[in-house]
Amino acid sequence: MNRNPHLAVVGATGAVGLEILKTLEKRNFPVGKLTLLASARSVGKQLKFRGQDIAVRELTKDAFAGIDLALFSAGGSVSKEFAPAAVKAGCVVIDSSSAFRMDPAVPVVIPEVNAADVKLHKGIIAKPNCTTAVTLMALYPLHRAFNVKRIFASSYQAVSGSGTPGITELRRQVEQVAQGEPVTREVYPHQIAFNVLPQVDAFLPNGYTKEEMKMENEARKIMHHPTFRASMTCVRVPVYRAHSVAVSAEFEKPVTVEAAREVLSRAPGLDVVDDPEKQEYPLPLYAAERYNCQVGRLRKDCALDNGLCFWVVGDQLLKGAALNAVQIAEELLK
């Protein structure tokens, strides 16, 4: 890989694309040249990068000539259509969508967990689903110490997980309720303002949603732990940014709160925020726009043997998406 790669951001005008640009700039990623790609309707739009205006170009299959590295954040159907063309042009693809995660030839990477898997790529590296990423930031260090068998978890997922339209919908509905106007909806099947929806993504024949099954399937692959089990309920909540997950984890080895806290306090990319007497615990409001995830509410699980409960919160546009993608790019350059 070129030390100062020619880098493309695909889906540059979306919520994650814009975060990728900010993250590349903030982390001083050595971009030799930057190309911004998006659908035809965004062509000509100017985006700022390092003080310069860069015009968005149309994403086509022959747009990747001379590009070393492409960060895709435009959804699964776009990745399926254009990522193979990018690889053919000699480009390495880091993909934010679910398109390739379950492909045995594609590593799914969280750099704090399985950075070495980056080397196994055959042109495409996937980043995991945002809820999986946030959860594993706390679960994986505990797994290394105590060997996790299974988890029962519920997620509290922010509307920005649905991109800019989710944010717009919540904002609009809050205003409509405040003004006593009828509530309109376009993104979610029900009103999201002042409500919680126990559905994220489409339902599968087993009664779980696609989002809920991603936790078990992706975590097995990332942790190299084929017998790991996860029973998940994913819930959309009226929060703008940062996902929260309540986890009950069962381990093979006995685990104490003190031992768990010690392990978590040393974990990369994670802050322990856990002082119940002072009402200190991770909150999405304060985890938003931060690189590190936060973990707290540590306690012994009274319904499981060798069980531990914890609450983990992280900015799903950053650790769940843009930051993770840029960290993978940094690993590639090492």
**Mind telling me the catalytic residues?**
130, 243
Residue (of 4, 37, 11, 16) closest to 323 by Cα position: 16
Residue (of 128, 127, 107, 129) closest to 118 by Cα position: 107
Please, what is the end-to-end C-alpha distance for the chain in angstroms? 9
Answer for the pair 180, 259: CB distance below 8 angstroms, yes or no. no
Q: At what angle do helices 210-223 and 130-146 cross, to 10 degrees?
A: 40
Residue (of 132, 177, 176, 137) closest to 157 by Cα position: 132
Question: What whole-number distance in Å separates Cα of residue 278 and Cα of residue 298?
Answer: 14
Answer for the pair 301, 325: CB distance below 8 angstroms, yes or no. no
Strand partners, 293: 270
Q: Phi/psi zone of residue 333: left (φ > 0), alpha (ψ -120 to 50 degrees), beta?
A: alpha
Question: What whole-number distance in Å separates Cα of residue 118 and Cα of residue 199?
Answer: 32
